[in-house]
Amino acid sequence: GESVGLHLPTLSVQEGDNSIINCAYSNSASDYFIWYKQESGKGPQFIIDIRSNMDKRQGQRVTVLLNKTVKHLSLQIAATQPGDSAVYFCAEKPPTSGTYKYIFGTGTRLKVLA
């Protein structure tokens, strides 16, 4: 079946450094992508999204890059802070007629080292 995968299950970065979390998505026709952050015991929190007609989108300290050629999505976090420690999921939305199901990756755990 289709799946969204993450290359690194755990990423450790020094506080203040930039973090890059990668995601390989499965459906070349997916037209919408979301990054979520999930802290322990909490629900996934929307971080940033991007549509397939874009290749880059910036938010506050975060940037999402989309490379449709290789079906790759990345989340860049600038000046990583201890509060950024969490599991990060990417999600893709395949185009379907009338209904849809987001496909989520298993997540990458980001650990921020003091």
Partner 1 sequence: DSGVTQTPKHLITATGQRVTLRCSPRSGDLSVYWYQQSLDQGLQFLIQYYNGEERAKGNILERFSAQQFPDLHSELNLSSLELGDSALYFCASSAVQGNTIYFGEGSWLTVV
Q: Contact positions toward partner 1, by CB under 8 A?
A: 4, 32, 34, 36, 42-46, 49, 89, 93, 98-102, 104-107
Q: How far apart are the first and last CA of the chain?
A: 40
Distance set, CA 91 to CA 30, 55, 71 (Å): 10, 16, 12
How long a stretch of residues is the chain?
114
The CB-of-19 to partner 1 minimum distance in angstroms stands at: 20
Helix (H, G, I), strand (E, B) or coil at 114: coil
Q: Which is nearer to partner 1, 69 or 99 (CB)?
A: 99
The CB-of-46 to partner 1 minimum distance in angstroms stands at: 6
The CB-of-16 to partner 1 minimum distance in angstroms stands at: 29
Q: Which is nearer to partner 1, 48 or 78 (CB)?
A: 48
| Euclidean distance between CA atoms 8 and 22, whole angstroms | 8
The CB-of-15 to partner 1 minimum distance in angstroms stands at: 27
